[in-house]
């Protein structure tokens, strides 16, 4: 009997063919399609997206021809340059929320939506601020698209505010946590290589699994971020940190990517994420994740006194907004020390050694 695969790929079931090879099939409401590729791999994801698109095209059918329904708007948005230009991982993230919205409200007319209707759509998520904000974000994008294609003259979401979540996002690894991880996972292990690579390049999971010797030029590492390469010319061009160089020196020069699988193929970003979860748990670091290493690298740069533009050169950000958050948090302690030194000097007339941007005293 086929076993339904839950979690990331709704509608996918696993089965064994006559050669006892495990295969995957997408089935939903009469629509069926084979999903080629190793489960969770980039090839698998692309084929799943194609199957999902085929199912949706069939499902919408007559509804898609009804001008101004949410169903029809979604179909149009998926064909728009804005969506097509997104990275595959971003498309998958957007689709998950859009399809949930579509399943519940696809029959509704976009042209009739007013601010109270939008508020009503958000009400069920009032106790889950992050989920509510995600839904609001998708609605805003869809209704902006409706304005662009002439279905509406305004966007009723513009006056609706996001909820405060109190979340600081992914946990930033501390120096103590980094040391604890490397104590548990010694040099030469895949875990050590992966964390060293991400920590000293500020690369994300999707980029980490693509990096290899082809990205090394002398003592520098160069690559374009997968998330923005379709619409940005930004190239991350950074010197290789000595700790990273020591790790890379033991890797075979013929290796396809630095983090390839034992079979010699490229590792998927989700596969790396799952492995990171196991490695962190094994080291007693349940709060740590791959993205937290990107933040840790940016934090280290900020604490060393790097400017926002210098940090952006490492992270590949094209705007300073996120970098300002990293740098602001990292420099609060330094600014507090500097302020304290001035306070003591004002109160006592004596100088207190004031730390400079590198954390040392004058």
Domains, the chain, ordered by start: 1-65 (no CATH), 66-163 (1.10.150.130), 175-318 (1.10.443.10)
User: Over the stretch 142-183, which tens digit does the pLDDT of each residue have?
Assistant: 999 999 999 999 999 998 988 876 656 788 899 999 999 999
CA 246 to chain centre: 28
User: Over the stretch 209-227, which tens digit does the pLDDT of each residue have?
Assistant: 999 999 999 999 999 998 8
196 Cβ contact list (under 8 Å, min separation 6): 243, 244, 247
Q: Which pair of tokens denotes residue 236? A: 């991350």
User: Over the stretch 88-112, which tens digit does the pLDDT of each residue have?
Assistant: 878 888 998 999 888 888 888 998 8
- Taking alpha carbons only, the member of 36, 80, 81, 27 closest to residue 54 is 27
User: Over the stretch 119-150, which tens digit does the pLDDT of each residue have?
Assistant: 998 998 888 888 888 999 999 999 999 999 99
Q: What angle (nearest 5°) sits at the alpha carbon of residue 289, between those of residues 178 and 101?
A: 165
Report how far residue 140's alpha carbon sits from residue 132's, in angstroms, rounded to the nearest whole number: 12
Handedness of CA 322, 288, 228, 72 (dihedral sign): negative
pTM confidence score: 0.62
């Amino acid at each position: 009997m086929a076993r339904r695969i839950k979690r990331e790929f709704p509608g996918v079931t696993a089965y064994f063919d006559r050669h006892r090879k495990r295969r995957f099939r997408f089935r939903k409401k009469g629509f069926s399609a084979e999903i080629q590729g190793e489960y969770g791999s980039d090839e698998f994801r692309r084929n799943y997206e194609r199957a999902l698109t085929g199912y949706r095209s069939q499902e919408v059918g007559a509804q898609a021809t009804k001008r101004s329904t949410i169903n029809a708007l979604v179909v149009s948005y998926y064909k728009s340059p804005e969506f097509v230009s997104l990275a595959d991982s971003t498309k998958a993230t957007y689709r998950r929320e859009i399809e949930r919205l579509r399943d519940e409200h696809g029959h509704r007319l976009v042209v009739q939506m007013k601010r109270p209707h939008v508020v009503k759509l958000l009400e069920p998520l009032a106790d889950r601020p992050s989920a509510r904000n995600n839904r609001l974000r998708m609605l805003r994008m869809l209704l902006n698209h409706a304005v662009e294609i002439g279905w509406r003259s305004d966007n009723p979401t513009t006056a609706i505010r996001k909820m405060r979540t109190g979340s600081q996002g992914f946990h930033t690894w501390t120096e103590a946590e980094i040391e604890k991880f490397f104590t548990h996972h010694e040099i030469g292990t895949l875990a050590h290589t992966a964390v060293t690579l991400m920590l000293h390049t500020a690369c994300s999971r999707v980029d980490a699994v693509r990096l290899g010797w082809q990205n090394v030029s002398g003592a520098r590492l160069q690559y374009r971020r997968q998330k923005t390469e379709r619409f940005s010319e930004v190239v991350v061009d950074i010197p290789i940190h000595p700790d990273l160089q020591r790790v890379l020196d033991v890797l075979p020069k013929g290796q396809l990517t630095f983090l390839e699988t034992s079979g010699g193929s490229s590792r998927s970003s989700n596969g790396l994420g799952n492995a990171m979860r196991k490695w962190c748990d094994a080291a007693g670091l349940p709060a740590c994740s791959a993205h937290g290493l990107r933040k840790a690298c940016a934090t280290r740069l900020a604490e060393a006194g790097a400017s926002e533009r210098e940090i952006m050169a490492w992270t590949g950000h094209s705007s300073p907004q996120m970098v300002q958050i990293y740098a602001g948090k990292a420099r609060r302690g330094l600014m507090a020390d500097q302020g304290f030194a001035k306070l003591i000097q004002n109160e006592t007339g004596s100088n207190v050694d004031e730390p400079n941007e590198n954390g040392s005293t004058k």
